[in-house]
Chain A
Amino acid sequence: MSGNERKVAVFRKEHFNAAHRIFNPAWDDGKNAEVFGKCSNPHYHGHNYELIVKVTGVPDPETGYVMDMKVLSRITAEEVLEKFDHKNLNLDTVYFRDLNPTAEHIAMVIYDLLRARIDTRLDLQVRLYETERNFVEYPA
């Protein structure tokens, strides 16, 4: 029954809806508008974010699991969905007080939140879709 230490990747897909604004507080409104365009609208805009969490490791010889997907689902719900779903990323979360909530930064924040809860023997990568056509991955 040995898996010969071969690694397998397992994926969990989740989604959340949030408002945000791309804004650098060190710049004036004019420069923010010039660089970020309509993404810097002072009244915010929003997205349906799709999150794919990838966990890679050797299946446990007793369970056959890389990771129990129910546990991964619960951790993702607690660390990501409860904090971000139906929220304003700039105003309602603690993570983007001093960090621009671009897709790149959101993915890095999500990675850090999940990394702290997942066995260090397992590799972790997150892919975040801001729209169907724009997505990021971390780590690159």
Chain B
Amino acid sequence: MVYLTRLEHFNAAHKLYNPGWSKEKNETVFGKCANENWHGHNYDLYVTIKGDPDPDTGFLFDAKQLGEIIRERVIEKLDHKNLNLDVDFMQGKLCSTENLVIGIWQQLLPHIPAGVQLHGLRLYETPRIFVEYFGQD
């Protein structure tokens, strides 16, 4: 078993805001992240797949093609967008990095090619804050 990781990145605006709460409670819980007019980040997304190298190519999977799948299925929906307003798969969800990584997993999973498995995602919101997700198990 070999693990292969591809790094992609996107820039987006968001806010942390629970519409079921008052403005005051949002500010108490989320602080400046609840700023009404948004703020933003440079996100880095690490996608790790696993499996056995193909005997003919030596590849687990073509890393260039993996990049194309990630960009087509995820980055195009997120890059230079407002996560709360512009992204179909985040509608009705709190735009935390935790929920975003789960949403990205669900977007990618159906498009992972046969013969390899999606192992894990690591999503950096800032150079100092990141989350990881390995699926429902």
Contacts and interface: CB of A to CB of B under 8 A. Distances in A.
Interface residues of A, number: 23
B100 interface: no
Contacts of B127: 48
Contacts of A56: none
17 contacts: A17-B40, A17-B41, A19-B13, A19-B37, A19-B82, A44-B40, A45-B13, A45-B79, A46-B13, A47-B40, A48-B127, A85-B39, A86-B35, A92-B37, A131-B9, A131-B42, A132-B42
Contacts, number: 78
B31 to A, nearest CB: 8
B39 A41 contact: no
A133 B117 CA distance: 31
A41 B40 contact: no
A19 B39 contact: yes
Nearest to B78: A45
Interface string B97-137: 00000000000000000000000000000110000000000
Interface in A24-54: 37-39, 41, 43-48
Contact of A45 (B9, B32, B81): B81
Given A19-B13, A86-B33, A86-B35, A44 B82 contact: yes
B84 to A, nearest CB: 8
B29 interface: no
Given A20-B40, A45-B80, A85 B86 contact: no
Given A47-B11, A48-B126, A86-B32, 4 more contacts: A43-B13, A45-B80, A48-B42, A48-B127
A8 interface: no
Interface string A85-101: 11110011000000000
Contact of A18 (B40, B81, B85): B40
B37 A91 contact: yes
Contacts of B14: 46
B29 to A, nearest CB: 14
B37 A45 contact: no
B38 interface: yes
A87 B38 CA distance: 6
Among A45, A85, A86, A132, chain B packs the most CB atoms within 10 A around the CB of: A45
